Copies of this chain bind each other. A is one copy, B any other.
Amino acid sequence: MNPATPHLIVIGGGFAGLWATRALASESLRITLIDRRNHHLFQPLLYQVATAGLSAPDIAAPLRHILRRQRNVEVWLGEVAQVLPDQRQVQLADGRTLGYDYLLVASGATHAYFGHDEWARDAPGLKTLGNALNLRRKLLMAFEQAEMEPDPQARRAWLDFAIVGGGPTGVELAGTLAEIARHTLKDEFRHIDPRQARVRLIEAGPRVLPSFPPDLTDKARKQLEKLGVEVVTGTPVTEINAHGYRLGETFVPSRTVVWAAGVAASPLGRTLGVPLDRAGRVQVGPDLSVPGHPEIFVGGDLAAIAQDGKPVPGVAPAAKQMGGHIASVLKRRLRGDASAAPFRYRDHGNLATIGRMAAIVHVGRLKLSGLPAWWFWLAAHVYFLIGFRNRFVVLVNWALAYWSYQRAARIIFGQPDEGQAGEKQETPPPAL
C-alpha cells in the first residue's frame, strides 16, 4: 500500500472500533487496529460464560479472522499506554510509538469500585473473558467448599451469594445463579442442599433495571423472586471483605460477593488532554470528534454525548452506531468534505434477561415480560452474535440446556499446581 495513504489507528476491537473498521473497507486508508486481546468479545453474553452456560470461545471471535479479507487493515495485539495528540502518535506499553493521521479511541470501560479499590479482591467484576472464567471458578468452588465444610456457620457463608448492582449484568447473574442452585446442582451433593443457597441482589437505588419503565421493573423483580432471588433495593453496601459484606448496618457473612455496580471509562481518555465527565468518559463533539482535535474520534463506552437532554447509554447498539457514524464522517473528510454531521442515536429498544424463560422487553410502545420477552431476547442475541459458527453452537448449547437444565461449561481449571507457572513463562510479550 502507498505509504502516502492516510493512516487511521483504531484503539479497541469492541463494537465501536470493529464496526468503524469494517465500514471503511473500501476506503483508501491504511488502518491499524490495536487491541490488548486477540478477539472481539460479545459482551452481552459474558454472564453466560461466568455462569458456566457457554464456553469462552462461544462468545468471542479472533479479530484477525473477522478482518482477514479486508486488505487495508492490519491487526496489532498490543496495549496502548498513551495518546500523544500533539505529535499525532500513540505509544504502546512496550515503548514503541506509531504515528497516525486519524485516530479512533474506542477502548471502552472497565468496572469501578467508586473509591473502594480494595473491594476488587473480594468482589470481582465482569468485563473480560478472564473475569468471567475467574467468576465461574469462584461460583462453582463455593458449592464445593460448602460440601466439605463441617462447621454449619462457615458452610452457611459459602452458600451465601451477593450480587452488588441491579443493572442488567447484576440481574442476569442473580437470576442464573439462583437457577443453578435450584436446578442444575440438584442431587449432586451429599452434605449440602444447593437449593438452600441464598442469592441476594443488592441495589443502592430504589429499583432494579432503572433504565426500564417502573411497571416493567416491577415485573422483573417478581420474576427474580420467583426464581429464588432475594432482591434488596434502597440499601447501599458499605463494606466488603473476605468474610462478607455490610448492608446498611448489618454485616452479612458471605464468601461470594460479585461486583456489578459501577463502570469507569478506560484510562486512555485521560491522555487526550480534553474534558472528561465524572466517569472518566470523553466529552465529544456532535460528530464524535474531540474538541480541538478534529482528527481524533472517540466511540463506544468511552464517549460521553447527550441527546435530547439524556446521555446516550453505554450499550452495544449505541457503540455500533457510533462506529458507523465515525466511519461516515471520515469518508467525507477523505473526500475533502469537512462538514460535521451530528451523531444521532436510534434507540431500537431495551431488553434484559433475568433467567430461564424470564426477561423484560421495551421496544417503542411494546412492553413484554416473562416467556414472550425471553424468546424475543434470545432471538435478538443469537442473531447479533458475530459469525455463523458461534451463533449455531450457542443455539445448540441453549437448546440442550433448556431441556436438561444442565450447563455445559461447569469445568474448573487453572489450578496453581499446573498451568499458572506457564503464565509467567512467556517471553517479551506485548499483551501477556
Residues of A within 8 A of B (CB): 36-39, 52, 55-58, 60, 62, 64-65, 68-69, 74-79, 120-122, 124, 127-131, 133-134, 137-138, 140-141, 144-145, 147-148, 185, 187-191, 242, 255, 389-390, 392-393, 396-397, 400, 404, 406, 408-423, 425-432
Residue of B nearest to A136 (CB): B57
- The listed residue (B57, B120, B410) touching A411 by CB distance below 8 A is B57
Smallest CB gap from A400: residue in B: B389
Q: Say whether A140 contacts B36, CB under 8 Å.
A: no
Q: Closest approach, in angstroms, between the C-beta of A119 and any C-beta of chain B?
A: 12
CA distance A334 to B245 in the complex (A): 51
18 new A-B contacts, CB < 8 A, other than A134-B419, A137-B432, are A37-B412, A38-B140, A39-B410, A55-B58, A56-B411, A62-B410, A75-B188, A77-B144, A121-B421, A122-B425, A130-B415, A130-B422, A131-B419, A133-B414, A134-B425, A145-B428, A145-B429, A414-B423
Complex Cα distance, B22 from A402, in Å, reads 27
Contacts of A131 in B (CB 8 A): 418-419, 422
Task: Report how many copies the assembly holds.
Answer: 2
* B65 with A188: CB separation less than 8 A: yes
Report yes or no: A412 in contact with B39, Cβ–Cβ below 8 A.
yes
Contacts of A400 in B (CB 8 A): 389, 392
Q: Residues of B contacting A38 with CB < 8 Å?
A: 140, 144, 410-412
Query: Which among B79, B144, B389 is the interface contact of A406 at CB below 8 angstroms?
Result: B389
* CB <8 Å contact, B427 and A133: no
Contacts of A140 in B (CB 8 A): 38
